[in-house]
A and B are shown apart, each in its own frame.
Chain A
Amino acid sequence: MKFTIAAVALAALTSFSAHAQTEIQWWHSMTAVNGEVVNDLAKNFNASQKNYKVVPTFKGSYAESFTAAVAAHRSGNSPHILQVFEVGTATMMASKGVSVPVGKVMKDAGEKFDPKTYVSAVAGYYTAPNGEMLSFPFNSSTTVFYWNKDAFKAAGIDTSKAPGTWPEVALAAAKLKASGHKCPMSIAWQGWTQLESFSAWHNVEFATRGNGMQGMDARLKVNSPLHVRHIENLANMAKQGLFIYKGRANVPEASYISGECAMMTTSTGFYGNVARNAKFNWGMALLPHYPDVPGAPQNTVIGGASLWVMAGKKADEYKGVAQFFSYLSSPEIQAATHQRTGFLPITMAAFRLTEKSGFYEKNPGTDVGVNQMIRKTTDKSRGIRLGNYVQIRDIEDEELEQVWGGKKSAQEALDSIVKRGNELLERFEKANKG
């Protein structure tokens, strides 16, 4: 009799604790080594407490995962956490009832959450005009400049510091070409590095209304004189063989690693690849700027993705999400992730911790990205939030390609980007009104 009661009680207890493990579904798009980081983060969080189990599922590229989320949402099968790329921010924001702001989730769960501890340029991108944080920055990177010190030395250029301004870059490129170098410079993620981040770095508008942060009636402003001047410079460099176009997105990066191109503007996320595979002396430096522009250099714009909390879940599950986010924000976890992946640290505390540990000294160049970001931001440099942005990025690629191929002038291409882009922005505004 006693034995039976004890057995039943034991069964009840164990089944109770088994039920108490609430599952948190996390859909992400992290591939290769970054995918391992995701799995480790989930594993360690799950091991650190018993109530919640974060289950990460790779759902393809950002576009594929987003499609999956849309399909799932329409049939009520959303995950709890969804990783969305930065260009999808406006879409997520405008879709009413699809997500719950992170600030609200944290507050409701009673988790300590102070937006001021987050790096302004990083968290600001994902914050609503009223200061409420909408999504949780996860893998943020920014635009930097890589250069090949060996190639510079062979061309007789001083290698004690990187070219810091665009005129210096052009000069170095000319010297490289004169010494027989086939590809002095190339650029990756051209829309992001040469238009978006370029704008923020020089504290000029990319689009009106604070680059879209303040309203959906924002319109593009990339055909301003400064932008035209810059693209014209690049076009001239292309004509002279100083800048060789190597493709869209991150495809050009392969030509830097192989030593073919001596200078490259791309993401901080490229660092790990370079460190591992470059067989030459290399350096990582600030994005070049035009010295005669007032306010430059300001800060650069981030890229990457953030974690959104999807609507329609139970309160207990949201508590788990909040706890997970607190775990992710802890300085130790942030610092470790930052050092392992090259993602920017999202809190100042994590940055200081990494600094103190001597990581930046042992790995020169890794603090470049962070240093570009911890400056205070202005209305024009906080970030970009425009609808239909995936398409606008592609328009940027298409039009710039025609400039590099000599088919259009810089002014024509930029005007075209503005025209086509604004049509898309109008459609977005119309589709999402009220």
Chain B
Amino acid sequence: MEKRVVFRSAWLPWALIAPQIAVIAVFFFWPAAQALLQSVQQADAFSTRVEWVGLENFVNLWNDPLYIKSFYTTAIFSTLVAVLGISLSLLLAVFADRIVKGALVYRTFLIWPYAVAPAVAGVLWLFMLAPSIGIVSFWLRAVGLEWNPLLDGQHAMTLVVLAAVWKQISYNFLFFLAGLQSIPKSLIEAAAIDGARPWRRFWTIVFPLLTPTSFFLLVINIVYAFFDTFAIIDAATQGGPGKETSILVYRAYYDGFKAMDFGASAAQSVVLMVIVVGLTVVQFRFVEKKVNY
């Protein structure tokens, strides 16, 4: 999307953009290049011996049926997390925006869970949903559902999707709220005067004006589902049972972090990057057309 009216200056834009570019050049691009370089190497943990192996790391990945399986697992996981996360938080934000009484209280309680440190959140989920000691497990059993994410792959997937969505609801809610709040009141009032009812007002005025925010959140949520959910999987199921909840990023982190196999981890990161960059390009090219600026 382009602005029609712009400023002219030969040097100002460079000066404005310089700080950010400087920071990311030094602290992102330089380390990232080195990290990705490892994808064509094979090294021991301490890099006392480094060997160039060309595309061998990538070949090993493709030959591993479990790796191919994790593509499907990731697709299911990410779709569920993004869709649920966005729709639920939009629902909550729209209603929180409507009411006046108690607004502060609702908003605080809906945003605050985001402040729970991931370290503690993982433990909390264990508390609630662990088959033995968890409160929620208790209730589910009382209702007659045999809840066992330890041995049932679908239960395990439900568990991690819930945990991931929970974390994101606060985040999405906050941005939807900000987006809703920046819609001029005058527009809504004008529509009401014209006789439009709330449902109609939402679809014809509010939602279109929310599309920049929605687009932002769509991209961010997909990136989140692909990249930032490692900690949740690690705390909840460690990719189990078997490999039922082992998503692509989990294995990439695991290899780089616990197994100290940087070559494999870097190769997987390259694959992940390609996928997400691809998805993002698709979103910018096709979905952004529908965004109203």
Contacts and interface: CB of A to CB of B under 8 A. Distances in A.
The answer to whether A and B touch in the complex, with CB atoms under 8 Å apart, is yes
Interface of A: 63-64, 66-67, 70, 73-74, 91, 94-98, 245-248, 251-252, 254-255, 258, 260, 388, 390-391, 394, 397-399, 401-402, 404-405, 407, 427, 430-432, 434
B33 to A, nearest CB: 16
B130 interface: yes
Contact of A95 (B42, B44, B51, B242): B44
24 contacts: A70-B45, A70-B46, A91-B44, A94-B44, A97-B48, A246-B150, A247-B150, A248-B240, A251-B130, A254-B130, A254-B132, A255-B133, A258-B133, A388-B259, A394-B238, A394-B239, A397-B240, A398-B242, A401-B240, A404-B151, A427-B42, A430-B42, A431-B44, A434-B49
Given A398-B240, A407-B242, A432-B49, A91 B260 contact: yes
Contacts, number: 91
Contacts of B238: 248, 394, 397
Contact of B151 (A63, A96, A401): A401
A401 B260 contact: no
B242 A402 contact: yes
Given A96-B48, A388-B259, A391-B259, 4 more contacts: A74-B47, A94-B44, A245-B151, A255-B132
Nearest to A66: B260
Contacts of A254: 130, 132-133
A63 B152 contact: no
A245 B150 contact: yes
Contacts of A404: 151
A70 B260 contact: yes
B258 A401 contact: no
Contacts of A96: 48-49
B258 A63 contact: yes
Contacts of B47: 70, 74
A263 to B, nearest CB: 15
B2 to A, nearest CB: 43
Interface bin, chain B? 20 to 34
B48 A95 contact: yes
Given A245-B150, A258-B132, A73 B46 contact: yes
Given A390-B258, A404-B151, A260 B132 contact: yes
Interface string B229-272: 00000000011111100000000001001111100000000000
Interface string B8-33: 00000000000000000000000000
B131 interface: yes
B222 interface: no
A211 B199 CA distance: 70
B43 interface: yes
Q: Which 4 A-B pairs have the closest CB atoms?
A: A255-B132, A405-B151, A401-B241, A95-B46
A126 to B, nearest CB: 18
Interface in B123-140: 126, 130-133
A245 B258 CA distance: 24
A430 B45 CA distance: 13
Contacts of B42: 427, 430-431
Contacts of B261: 388, 391, 427
A404 B150 CA distance: 10
Contacts of A66: 45, 260
A40 to B, nearest CB: 25
| B42, B150, B238, B239: residue with the most chain A Cβ atoms closer than 10 Å | B150
Contact of A246 (B44, B49, B132, B259): B132
A260 B130 CA distance: 13
A394 B239 CA distance: 10
B132 A405 contact: no
Contacts of B130: 247, 251, 254
B240 A431 contact: no
A254 B43 CA distance: 39
Contact of A431 (B43, B132, B152, B239): B43
Contacts of B132: 246, 252, 254-255, 258, 260
A432 B42 CA distance: 10
Interface string B140-156: 00000000001110000
A431 B50 CA distance: 8
Contacts of B152: 405
Contacts of B259: 388, 390-391
B262 to A, nearest CB: 9
B211 to A, nearest CB: 41
Contacts of A427: 42, 261
Contacts of B150: 245-247, 401
Given A248-B238, A398-B242, A405-B241, A98 B48 contact: yes
Contacts of A258: 132-133
Nearest to A78: B46
A91 B242 contact: no
Contacts of A245: 150-151
A434 B44 CA distance: 12
A319 B194 CA distance: 87
Contact of A401 (B49, B126, B131, B242): B242
A255 B131 CA distance: 9
Contacts of B241: 398, 401-402, 405
A429 to B, nearest CB: 11
| B42, B45, B242, B260: residue with the most chain A Cβ atoms closer than 10 Å | B45
| B51, B130, B258: residue with the most chain A Cβ atoms closer than 10 Å | B258
Nearest to A398: B242
Contacts of A248: 238, 240
Contacts of A401: 150-151, 240-242
Contacts of A73: 46
B257 A98 contact: no
B151 to A, nearest CB: 4
B100 to A, nearest CB: 45
